[in-house]
Structure 1
Amino acid sequence: MSVVGVRSQGEWSRRCLPEQGPCRRVISMASLPPSVASAQNFTLPEIPELYRPDFLDVLVPAPPVEDKAAPQSVKSNPMMSALQSIPTFTFTQNGAPTFNTTGSPTLDAFQFVKDQRGSALDILLCNSWKEDPALTLRVIWNLRSIRDGKGDREGFYRAFGWLYKRHPRTAISNLRLLVEPVCENRRRGDAPHGCWKDLLNIIALETVDELSDSPSSSRYLHCPRDKYTYPSKGKGKASERESRIEAAKQANLQAKARAQTARAERAMYAHQQIQHKLSQPKYRALFIAIARLFADRLVKDLQLVLEADHLPAGVDRILFLKQLSFAGKWAPTPGLSHDRVTNIASAISLLIQAANVFPLPSVLSDPSSSLTSRERLAILRSFYQRWVLTPLRSAGAVAEPLMAANRWTDIKYFRTTSSHTIHTASRTTSCESERANQNISGATLMPHEIVAELVFRGAVREGSSKKQALYDMKKRLAKAQIQVLEAQWKTLVDSLREAGSLDNCIAVCDVSGSMGSISEKLCKETPQPIFPAVALSLILAQLAKPPFNGFITFADKPKFVSVDPSWSVYDSIQVMSRSEWGMNTNFYAVFVKLLLPLALKNKIKQEDMIKRIFVFSDMQFDSAQRGGNWETTHDLVAKAYKEAGYEVPQIVYWDLAAFGTVEVRAQREGVAIMNGFSPAMLKVFMGEEEEKEEAWEEVNSAMETSTLVEQDPFNPLAIMNKALGKKSFQHLVVVD
């Protein structure tokens, strides 16, 4: 067990335990906690590998090395080779020619894996793994990476489920890279790809058989709500007040009895499922790996808390405690959602006991004790919650206990998650919002979520005169919430600016009918593409160097929208929503009806043309072809630029939907393809002017030398390799 302990058990006891009090009595008397009587059966079968550092080699041995036979020559046929070389053509929903594959299995995985399920996901990742296992592993981790990737939690769970099913040693060996701080972050310190809750979600999903085998939305992550039934009125005979009260009491007792029976049945099924799963070596290895990651980090964090209590004068305690991880916040609380289906808190408690760095209740080591194994484990779990989780959550300023105690002013916003800040904004006053704006979390929030919240909070309808006070209160509340959201947006944009800037580029935002309506409420599971399209366009307009602070909308007719840097995000959205939106998706018109005619009319030089265009769309363009050869919309755009005497700009096609089409193939120069809702992927295109370019000298026949600069290729495959080549992905290893 690789844990960092305190100097001695006595030191921990002196620092953490009061001279007199309940903990001293628990250690000496070992009074049984209430959890002993709970419906949950939190016991575990014997797991000897739990305490072995080499548990993975024991439970999931490395596969034998296969001798690669010499490749056999296959007879070729010119006609069949020609047929196989034909790209797979298809059409958009609006009839425009396009492709359904990039021609590269790894690039297909990078582009399409986010929204695939079941057999389609299996085929996609198997083909990619066959081409390049290491790159496929990075594709999977990029899917989850909050700061260097797409930040798609559930898409990552499905892809990780495939990895765990097909290559369990690789999946389990790399789990630590979800929570280790490997992503560079200059402002707030290095950060992990994911969070500690991901580990619990993974083990819980695998326990209920929803990690890799569920083609539909997970019932564990999205538990369906019971339908609300309205009580019938006017039915039944009138009765005396006392009899009605008695009838209500009897109904409540019956409901409690039914609920108790249902809880017992669920607990029994959950324990049977855990027992069954732990009999499987692969699941047992996953279970142990996650339990050990938590136990190891919790002990290290508790050591930091102990050291913080004895810091020398002049050392900032709050700054010192920023070293704490979020393991204490997300560690499974005994008896709650993750622990109920996995009993993972029991395994963590046993590992902390085995570390032998804290003084535990003496009855646990008393051979004469008459306690059963269940009672011993209950005492250990109670100790884990009271003397490990509680101090860590207090020191880490975890918000939920403060919320439960109605201590809203004590919440430390820099220790709360971005989404949590949105949900708690309704509990803060305007003064509190101003305090939060000074140092608020927002760098990990998806921009389309902020845009959706701003639209929703700003749409406060005016009520009747009788409800004027209610309307005024809602307006004040909305104003405070908008202040918080604006501060989160600023934090998000500032964090992106650290990666560099974007020069000579502009966004093209699809506002056609197929993208949805920005006035509708956001569906978090399947957000309408219009929200990320607007959000990413606004972000790019703010990141771009002047005078490129604007973007182009297109539907029936393209239109340029200027964004004043002094405007708030809410004001920018309002200005944009008042522009002309239509039902068509005429992407071709952006070039042949706006950019090229404008350039020709004003005799714009080539060096003054826009160098790069980001297209945020669902990629279901209208057909711009009138018969003839098969040409995609991009082919027609390139032809129009050539006929006008200009070089076609670099175009980044950013897919915001899941139609499974791509505009270009893998090696098409001057083009990149992206997908997802995360602005972190913009970092791939930022700071390019600061990157060192490889220079070399060319010698001509006259022995004259000239310095040439070799620029990186700009095509879909090269941009994918650049996105996956970040330092944060270099620690990923393929082991089976």
Structure 2
Amino acid sequence: MTSSPSPVTTLLGPPEIRHPPPTSVTAPPPQPPPTPPPTGDPLLDLMDAGFNADPSRPLMDAGVNGDPSRPPIGLTENLSPTYISSGDSCLDFFFQVVPGTAAETVAELLSAAWAQDAATALKLACHLRGVRGTGKSDRDGFYAAALWLHRHHPKTLALNLLAIADFGYLKDLPEILHRLIAGANVRAKAKAERPHRGPKGRCFGRRPCCRQSEKLPPTIKAGTREERIAADLTRGKILSAQGAEIRRTKRTEMAIRAIERHTRDPDYRLLHDRVADVFAELLAADLRHLSAGEVAKISLAAKWCPSVDSSYDRSTLLCEAVARRVFPRSSDPDYLSLSDAHYAYRVRDRLRRAVLVPLRRAIELPEVYMSAGKWSILPYSRVASVAMKNYKKHFLKHDRERFTQYLDDVKKGKAKIAAGALLPHEIVNDSGDEVAELQWKRMVEDLSKIGSLRNCIAVCDVSGSMDGTPMEVSVALGLLISELSEEPWKGRVITFSERPMLHRIEGESLQEKTRFVRMMDWGMNTDFQKVFDKMLDVAVEGSLPADGMVRRVFVFSDMEFDQASPNPWETDYEAIRRKFEESGYGEAVPEVVFWNLRGTSRSTPVVSTQKGVALVSGFSKNMVKLFLEGDGQLSPREVMDSAISGREYEKLVLYD
């Protein structure tokens, strides 16, 4: 058995190609929480006593900052002066691309970054996908970047595939091929169609998928029982035949499209062949490990390789390409006399039977046990984090006693539960069940092993423009920062909308903490400066020494701040620095981590050269690691460079 890369292979596709068959409520005004007992930290005690009180001082006057060298400046959605670029195209890509950013915007920002520094831009594109390390886990953003790479730098994408797969999963490779064949927005279209389907896939309304019913004979509501049964059977047979014909036609069209693209497009052919090479080489190596009893060395190639006749296989014909490489004609004398069609059929079937099935069994995929109904021997400790989230209801339904015992063992420290690939808000949204509680605990524990946050607090934007997923992420990341902070800041968070409020999060479980956070003050405005105005108020009134000021503030927001400065074209951060200097705290301005959570915003609070700040974005907890590991002064470019400095980035090479 060999798996050496082969020259361009002619794909045949399914036999249908060669032998086609015949033809709102208003809430009461918020009340400030009661003053907690003293903490021992001078600033926090002052904030507990006075931060949530009504403002008593007007904004200070100041001059205009007229620096002509700064990048273009514009206005936020709420008319506050802001930069529309950091002045560094790579940093703009790093800061402005978040989950939900339009593919066209991703391409535009990546193009500008590539023109500035191609090597850094390639790293940033892969950083979007990073599930581990300090990556963003932004799957769709990465796919948009990958399609741009294929369009403009096809060799760089194709020849870096194995390195790129390390940032996410091998499944990304057939997904890229699928999007190239079916269209970049194929997933968005499928998602848009889902709400129109009822239980068991039944269509509602006058949808195209219901047109087949026009050809059915009318339902007979009268007549004998035998006549009604016969009519129903006839309708069922017609419907079944129509469904089979639709599926057969669709499969044939997909295969023809895949073959034509592979034949006529050399860039696509290079990418397709490299994907097939990667899977073939890994699967062949895994079979050798399996034969030698070295199960721990087996990769996840069998898990992510498309199953024969799966949707990926039908749209890309990838299984045929992989099978031809794993089982070339020279590997078996019987293959030499076979026609090409018969040979392709034989090796595809052998790929399924002799490669994918035994390897998937060896790596103990939960799906193998579930599909076989072998719930009683399913190894829960081997279930990945996303699979655990998706399958937990099935585990409780089919194997409640064993699964409950496993969760008890996790609580006692006798077993572990995976949480690495989940985003904080995904766990928080499931708070209330035992799995979410344990996965949140595991996430906090894993991050705590890296380090803790000293003298830090999270500021969560809960204004109207954050409605939806950005609001959920803001709350979840704010809760995570509060859990990772050292005392006395542990469990503290500030929300800001019309009026900033300092909160001590109450509750022991994730469900209780989440319930408390969701009951906090929400509003429509985004008065960011008021957060720092209140800090200054309590510091000045309490005669706080400069070294008692909070050191770092995480701001989770869409950056669409309200206009609050009396000086024309003075940005919010410039106004904050000015106020601190005028109040005698110029050397104690807190470091600010601006964390962007909305993909439709271009507002950029600071320029790339501004010291004492960071510009980050996304929904992943991985970015928090940057601030757990380092303790030096922040700057936007240095934080970005740190995020893409791991060994995995050193494997990336520019080819065109």
- Normalising by structure 1, report the TM-score: 0.73
- Describe the superposition over 1:254-275 as per-residue Cα deviations: whole angstroms up to 9, x where unpaired: 1122112212221221122122
2: CA distance between counterparts of 1:348 and 1:41?
21
2:86–2:92 contact (8 Å) kept in structure 1? yes
2:17–2:256 contact (8 Å) kept in structure 1? no
Q: 2:577 — aligned with what?
A: 638
User: In structure 2, what residue type is equivalent to 1:258?
Assistant: Q
SS of equivalent to 1:196: coil
2:181–2:316 contact (8 Å) kept in structure 1? yes
Q: 1:583 — aligned with what?
A: 524
1:40–1:340 contact (8 Å) kept in structure 2? no
1:533-552 to 2 correspondences below 5 Å? 533-549=474-490, 550-552=492-494
Q: 2:340 — aligned with what?
A: 373
1: CA distance between counterparts of 2:180 and 2:526?
42
**Range moving further from structure 2, 374-383 or 223-232:** 223-232
Of 198, 202, 207, which aligns to 2:181?
A: 207
Q: 1:229 to 1:141 in 2, by over 3 A?
A: closer
2: CA distance between counterparts of 1:296 and 1:92?
51
1:41–1:268 contact (8 Å) kept in structure 2? no
Q: 1:452 — aligned with what?
A: 429
Q: 1:613 — aligned with what?
A: 553
1:413–1:439 contact (8 Å) kept in structure 2? no
Q: 2:371 — aligned with what?
A: 404
**1:172 is aligned to 2:143:** no
**1:435 is aligned to 2:406:** yes
Q: 1:247 — aligned with what?
A: 231
2: CA distance between counterparts of 1:104 and 1:132?
10
1:183-194 to 2 correspondences below 5 Å? 192-194=166-168
Q: 1:106 to 1:399 in 2, by over 3 A?
A: same
1:444–1:492 contact (8 Å) kept in structure 2? no
1: CA distance between counterparts of 2:143 and 2:479?
30
Q: 1:143 to 1:341 in 2, by over 3 A?
A: same
User: In structure 1, what residue type is equivalent to 2:299?
Assistant: S
2:3–2:325 contact (8 Å) kept in structure 1? no
Which sections of structure 2, spanning at least 5 residues, go unmatched? Answer: 5-11, 21-65, 206-212
2: CA distance between counterparts of 1:441 and 1:686?
21
**1:110 is aligned to 2:94:** yes
Q: 1:272 to 1:680 in 2, by over 3 A?
A: same
2: CA distance between counterparts of 1:653 and 1:410?
47
Q: 1:93 to 1:41 in 2, by over 3 A?
A: farther
Q: 1:135 to 1:609 in 2, by over 3 A?
A: same
**1:390 is aligned to 2:357:** yes
CA-CA distance at 1:542 after TM superposition: 1.4
2:196–2:204 contact (8 Å) kept in structure 1? no
**1:650 is aligned to 2:621:** no
User: In structure 2, what residue type is equivalent to 1:635?
Assistant: E
2: CA distance between counterparts of 1:440 and 1:42?
51
2:2–2:284 contact (8 Å) kept in structure 1? no
User: In structure 1, what residue type is equivalent to 2:494?
Assistant: I
**1:730 is aligned to 2:650:** yes
- Describe the superposition over 1:692-729 as per-residue Cα deviations: whole angstroms up to 9, x where unpaired: xxxxxxxxxxxxxxxxxxx5x52212211121222221
Task: Let me know the Cα RMSD of the aligned residues.
Answer: 2.9
Q: 1:670 — aligned with what?
A: 612
- Describe the superposition over 1:344-378 as per-residue Cα deviations: whole angstroms up to 9, x where unpaired: 00011111113977xx5x6324x3xxx53222211
CA-CA distance at 1:404 after TM superposition: 1.8
Q: 2:261 — aligned with what?
A: 277
**Range moving further from structure 2, 343-352 or 582-591:** 582-591
**1:683 is aligned to 2:625:** yes
1:40–1:267 contact (8 Å) kept in structure 2? no
2: CA distance between counterparts of 1:620 and 1:425?
38
1:295-694 to 2 correspondences below 5 Å? 295-308=280-293, 321-354=295-328, 363-365=334-336, 367=337, 371-429=338-396, 431=401, 432-436=403-407, 437=410, 438-454=415-431, 458=432, 482-516=433-467, 528-549=469-490, 550-563=492-505, 567-593=508-534, 595-626=535-566, 628-646=567-585, 647-658=588-599, 659-689=601-631
1: CA distance between counterparts of 2:609 and 2:230?
77
1:486–1:569 contact (8 Å) kept in structure 2? yes
**1:144 is aligned to 2:129:** yes
2: CA distance between counterparts of 1:434 and 1:641?
55
Q: 1:59 — aligned with what?
A: none
2:70–2:87 contact (8 Å) kept in structure 1? no
Q: 1:218 to 1:508 in 2, by over 3 A?
A: same
SS of equivalent to 1:686: helix
Q: 1:264 to 1:651 in 2, by over 3 A?
A: same
1:42–1:346 contact (8 Å) kept in structure 2? no
- Describe the superposition over 1:57-82 as per-residue Cα deviations: whole angstroms up to 9, x where unpaired: xxxxxxxxxxxxxxxxxxxxxxxxx9
- Describe the superposition over 1:589-617 as per-residue Cα deviations: whole angstroms up to 9, x where unpaired: 21212x22222233322222210000011
Which sections of structure 1, spanning at least 5 residues, go unmatched? Answer: 5-34, 44-81, 180-191, 309-319, 459-481, 517-526, 690-710
2: CA distance between counterparts of 1:719 and 1:403?
44
CA-CA distance at 1:635 after TM superposition: 1.6
1:433–1:483 contact (8 Å) kept in structure 2? no
CA-CA distance at 1:495 after TM superposition: 2.6
Q: 1:292 — aligned with what?
A: 277
Q: 1:2 to 1:128 in 2, by over 3 A?
A: farther
User: In structure 2, what residue type is equivalent to 1:447?
Assistant: P
Q: 2:56 — aligned with what?
A: none
**Range moving further from structure 2, 427-436 or 150-159:** 427-436
- Count of aligned residue pairs for this structure pair: 572
SS of equivalent to 1:553: strand
2:381–2:417 contact (8 Å) kept in structure 1? yes
CA-CA distance at 1:223 after TM superposition: 6.4
User: In structure 1, what residue type is equivalent to 2:609?
Assistant: Q
- Describe the superposition over 1:677-703 as per-residue Cα deviations: whole angstroms up to 9, x where unpaired: 0110111111225xxxxxxxxxxxxxx
CA-CA distance at 1:85 after TM superposition: 4.7
User: In structure 1, what residue type is equivalent to 2:135?
Assistant: G
1:434–1:483 contact (8 Å) kept in structure 2? no
SS of equivalent to 2:327: helix
Q: 2:26 — aligned with what?
A: none
User: In structure 1, what residue type is equivalent to 2:295?
Assistant: L
- Describe the superposition over 1:30-87 as per-residue Cα deviations: whole angstroms up to 9, x where unpaired: xxxxx999757799xxxxxxxxxxxxxxxxxxxxxxxxxxxxxxxxxxxxxx999563
CA-CA distance at 1:329 after TM superposition: 0.9
1:41–1:267 contact (8 Å) kept in structure 2? no
